[in-house]
Amino acid sequence: MTGGFFAHILVVAVGGLMLLAAFTDVKRRQIDNWLNAAIALLAPLFWWANGYALWPDMAIQLAIGLAVFAAFAMMFALGAMGGGDVKMLGALALWLPLGELFTMLFIMAIAGGVLTAAMLVHHKIRKSQTNIEVPYGVAIAAGGLWVMTQPYLNHFA
């Protein structure tokens, strides 16, 4: 994630959208379609700001986004993930090269495990009889924010 000032503004914007998605997922257990659409639609501007070539750079990013969406859509079909989570992952994949995507997925998995454990403890303490609904948008946003802030916060990245 190099690019100039405009690219940095776009990273800040997508960071804000991820935080808003995490907040709405916590409050309503839903990530609005307009948030995922905004994340996805800002990606081509980011590509342009970073000088991505139409072929192969942009085509690769589109393929990565589609592959991630398809893989996690299977999780949705199995009832393991919500639709908003799947769309958010597909949209974020448009922003990240493959190496950074794997880092994001790793951080997301760790954050998701911690979040799920916390929700389970909270559920047991309250002795609730309902099913646990984990706001996985929080874990997705944590992974995305981690990866997107590394070039700014980690001078060795």
pLDDT digits (tens, 9 = 90+) for 36-71: 999 999 999 999 999 999 999 999 999 999 999 999
Under DSSP, is residue 87 helix (H, G, I), strand (E, B) or coil?
Answer: helix
Q: pLDDT grade, residue 123 (50/70/90)?
A: very high
Q: Are 134 and 111 in contact (CB under 8 A)?
A: no
**Distance, CA of 148 to chain centre:** 10
Question: What pLDDT digit, counting tens, does each position of 19-30 carry?
Answer: 999 999 999 999
- pLDDT grade for 128, boundaries at 50, 70 and 90: confident
Structure tokens that stand for 69 in this block: 């969406």
What pLDDT was estimated at residue 130?
87
Are residues 111 and 155 in contact, defined by beta-carbon separation less than 8 angstroms? no
DSSP string, 7-71: HHHHHHHHHHHHHHHHHHHHHHS---HHHHHHHHHHHHHHHHHTT--IIIIIHHHHHHHHHHHHH
Distance CA 42, CA 117 (A): 33
Distance CA 119, CA 34 (A): 27
Can you give the pTM of this predicted structure? 0.94
Task: Please report where in the chains the tokens 């047991």 appear, as a residue.
Answer: 124
Please give the pLDDT value at position 152: 86
